[in-house]
Structure 1
Amino acid sequence: MTLLRVRDFEIHPGFFTPDAQARLVADLRRILAQAPLVQPVTPRGTPMSVRMSAAGTYGWISDRKGYRYEPVHPSGVPWPAIPDTLLAMWQSLVPDARAPECCLINWYDASAKMGMHQDRDEADLSQPVVSVSLGDEALFRMGNQTRGGKTESVWLRSGDVVVMQGAARTAYHGIDRVRADTSTLLPKGGRINLTLRVVT
């Protein structure tokens, strides 16, 4: 489908076909059997509404000690490898970038949100972030380099991919809401968001 550009964000609607999405979900089941989803808390101790895990050399952690990348799951096991399908997508969309070192896995139920934030915990902000949506539709809001000001929103559907590089790499963005029962990909509903990034 046609590439969309919104505020320097590159949106690739329907990048993954339904069959490819189903294969990705099977890959994720294997990953989550080894590194189960956890409900992180903010440094202030407030539980987040999403549940998280990861694949790759590093996973992103949020707890009382702060936000950071760690080489092991909170249980102490190493993170599983990033699926080859996602590595091929990365190479296709951002061929000049270094190989991703983390695939963050976020699971949203119908009530979950992700407030406006920047991805700035990585060492090299010149490297892109690539985001994959699976499952129920989500309202993705895109902002500016600083908090506040005008924003724009778009509904992300299962199989859509967003590339954040250039000015979009450090722009504020978030998920305002998830529209329940808009996909049959996940048997229990909800949305999975995968974000691949270079950490070091």
Structure 2
Amino acid sequence: MTADLFADAPATERRNEPLGPGAVVLRAFALDDGARLVEAIHALAAVSPFRHLITPGGHTMSVAMTNCGSVGWVSDRRGYRYDAIDPETGQPWPPMPALFMRLAAEAAAEAGFPGFVPDACLVNRYDTGSRLTMHQDRNEKRDSEPIVSVSLGVPAVFQFGGQGKGVTPLKIPLVHGDVVVWGGPSRMNYHGVMPLKASHHPLTGMLRLNLTFRTAR
């Protein structure tokens, strides 16, 4: 199945698809908020622009990103970390919009994690060919809290593995409005995004936007 095929029939009704203990896809959970979420992302990027970060090994990430919240995730030759200051602007990251906070809390509660209050939202921008290699989210001081990931724009294939690199990952098509939540026993599972296939969405053009909510501190 290609991204174009499942883009033709996006989920329009909410349903929950378990991925494992503490992990679930909430189909169409953010669909009604999609246009406002994209508009808010444009406003955030006007303050803290998208950029391609450098890994500690000197590689340029194919996914462009920015942040909002009290801290943001950054990467450079010194390593991966959270910082309250945007290194490009020298100013604090934009505050997290109330819409973002509400959506993240409601999605986490739906997945069985009530009381989620994220302090960081990573905003990723994928264009055709961009990918996110398999990794664990290990930089958060409060890894007892879940991860909430919101898909907007063109479709992608999300990979969700286990806690060892030898586990064959699930390949999960995600479309505009889908939300993935993982925590508890699955919090440290490896995950990633396969190279984005060419497609088009009326709100984002050829782009996929992703919001990833975390409690970092």
- Assess same fold via TM > 0.5: yes
Alignment match, 1:89: 103
Partner in structure 2 of residue 55 of structure 1: 68
- Letter of the aligned partner of 2:171 in structure 1? S
Matched, 1:111 2:124: no
SS of the equivalent of 1:159 reads coil
Q: Could you tell me which residue of structure 1 aligns to residue 34 of structure 2?
A: 21
Identity %: 37
How far has the Cα of 1:49 moved from its partner? Answer: 0.4
Q: Is 2:138 aligned against 1:120? A: yes
CA deviations 1:91-145 (Å, max 9, x no partner) are 2233434411000011111110001000010001110110000111111011111
Distance 1:41 1:175 in 2: 18
SS in 2 for 1:99: coil
1:74 paired residue among 79, 84, 87: 87
Q: Give the secondary structure class of the aligned counterpart of 1:85.
A: helix
Q: Which residue matches 1:30?
A: 43
Please give the alpha-carbon distance, in whole angstroms, between the structure 2 residues aligned to 1:91 and 1:105: 17
Contact 1:137–1:180 under 8 Å retained in 2: no
Contact kept? 1:128, 1:163, Cα under 8 Å = yes
Note the C-alpha offset of 1:157: 0.4
Q: Supply the distance in 2 between the matched residues of 1:134 and 1:102 (Cα, whole angstroms).
A: 18
| Secondary structure of 1:170's aligned partner | coil
Q: 1:11 — aligned with what?
A: 25
> Where does the alignment leave 5 or more consecutive residues of structure 2 unmatched?
1-13
Q: Which moved more, 1:175-184 or 1:154-163?
A: 175-184
Aligned equivalents of 2:195 and 2:185: distance in 1?
24
Equivalent of residue 145 in structure 1, options 156, 163, 174: 163
CA distance in 2, matches of 1:15, 1:170: 23
Runs (4 or more) in structure 1 with deviation over 4 Å come to: none
Report how many aligned residue pairs link the two structures: 198
Shift of 1:182: 4.3
SS for the counterpart of 2:195 is strand
Structure 2 contact 157–174 (Cα < 8 Å) conserved:
yes
Structure 1 residue 88: Cα displacement: 1.0
Cα distance in 2, alignment partners of residues 183 and 148 from structure 1: 35
- SS of the equivalent of 2:57 reads coil
Could you state the TM-score of these two structures normalised by the residue count of structure 2? 0.87
2:181 to 160, 163, 186: 163
Could you tell me whether the CA contact under 8 Å between 1:103 and 1:196 is conserved in 2?
yes
| Unaligned stretches of 5+ residues in structure 1 | none
Contact (CA 8 Å) 1:50, 1:113: kept in 2 or not? Answer: yes
Cα distance in 1 for residues equivalent to 2:83 and 2:92 = 9
CA contact (8 A) 1:132 1:160 kept: yes
Contact map agreement 2:200 2:207 (CA 8 A) in 1: no
- Partners of 1:124 and 1:78 lie apart in 2 by 21
